[in-house]
Amino acid sequence: MMFGRGRKAGAQPIEPGHSLVKYLSRRPEPLLLEEAESLLKDSEIKSEAVEFMRRKGYTLVVPSVRGKEVLGFIGLGPKPELEVYTEDDIYVFKILSKQAALAIENSIYLEEFQKAQEKLYQADKLATLAGMAQGVSHQINNRLQVLLMITEDLSDVLRRRRESLSGEGLEQDIDYCLKDLSRMEININHAAQIVSSILLYAAAEQDKEYKEIEAKTAVDTAVRLVKVKHYEAKGCEIEVEAEGQSRIYGCRADITDVLVNLLENSYDAIERRKVELKDEAEGRIKVNIKGLKDKVRIEIKDNGIGIKAENQKKIFAPFYTTKSSAISGKGLGMYVIKKIIEENHKGRIWFKSEYKKGAEFYIELPMAKKGL
């Protein structure tokens, strides 16, 4: 029998404040009913505990203890032919109760671990969003600064021409104004794309339901947002190719998050290659979506710095990161990605990499069955 936290449906719990539990907490040893009845006379155990044992038909109660905490107990009825429990019997049940305590402890630990992982996932997601927000806000601020400068330039020109529509330099001033207006149009359009991408990503984030989705749509959303963030990064292009069926059954928000993280990692790897290797070759990120027999494979390949051989076994470990920027998160990214793909979506993720030559990440997800 179990009580308190960790109990499962179908058990018959008693509260931790029950007098029998309190007694076993003070004396975490096997208790025979006849001993409990004799202790009742000396007021060492309350009648509630003895009555509970009688009502349940327990002749022997063996507590399962972790440290000083009673996690539960084994309640045993009388032996056949009313034989007494021997010391050997009690010794065996004490061993069993310790094993039960270990099982309960592991169950509690697993429950707490899962809750902790959910908190870590949310923390890592917030860190990713913080990095994305920083990049996007930078883009918007740049657009606003350009628009402000253009407005000031046009105002100066118009003030000079307020009193006359002719005169020396009129044609040059008109050309200058037209160029500024063209720059303004470009920046307004890009600002609109930024806002549209944010709204698209926000819509994806709200879509937490597991259902049939198009992998290509999730890829396009992630690529669009990452492109907006890195709009001013020169010498890096993202190419997307799709072939075959790409419908999967999953959570659109989680799949989009995974793709955004992987694309961000590719951008980071390309920038690191440029710095560490003094290499100004054009950065390339290629995303291939392939519909296989019963799976959809998403491949993300880049020509970034790659992953050192000694680090490859650590990539999916929690808290591991090769990034120095605090805004990049706490090293939970790839661990969380693996959990989302393999545990939540019953898929598979792996990679190939050669240091200084880039990396290739592969995601396989079960194809949606017809009729879902």
DSSP state of 354: E
Return d(Cα 138, Cα 191) in angstroms, integer.
11
210-214/247-251 β-pairing: antiparallel
Q: What is the pLDDT of residue 2?
A: 43
307 Cα distance to chain centroid? 22
Q: What is the pLDDT of residue 263?
A: 93
Return d(Cα 37, Cα 129) in angstroms, integer.
64
Q: What is the pLDDT of residue 17?
A: 78
Q: Three-state DSSP class for 239?
A: strand
- Domains located in the chain, CATH noted: 19-116 (3.30.450.40), 117-366 (3.30.565.10)
Question: CA–CA distance from 63 to each of 76, 85, 91, 95, 133 (Å)?
Answer: 11, 16, 12, 11, 54
**Residues 218, 224, 230: CA angle, nearest 5 degrees:** 135
Return d(Cα 251, Cα 303) in angstroms, integer.
29
Residues 6+ apart with CB under 8 A from 292: 244, 364, 367
Through-space distance between the first and last CA atoms of the chain, rounded to whole angstroms: 42
Q: Which residues of the chain are modeled with pLDDT < 50?
A: 1-11, 324-331, 372
Bridge partner residues of 64 (DSSP): 72
Phi, psi at residue 172, to the nearest 5°?
-65, -40
Amino acid at 238: I
Return d(Cα 347, Cα 248) in angstroms, integer.
11
Do the Cβ atoms of 365 and 347 come closer than 8 Å?
yes
H/E run at residue 183: helix 170-206
DSSP state of 209: -
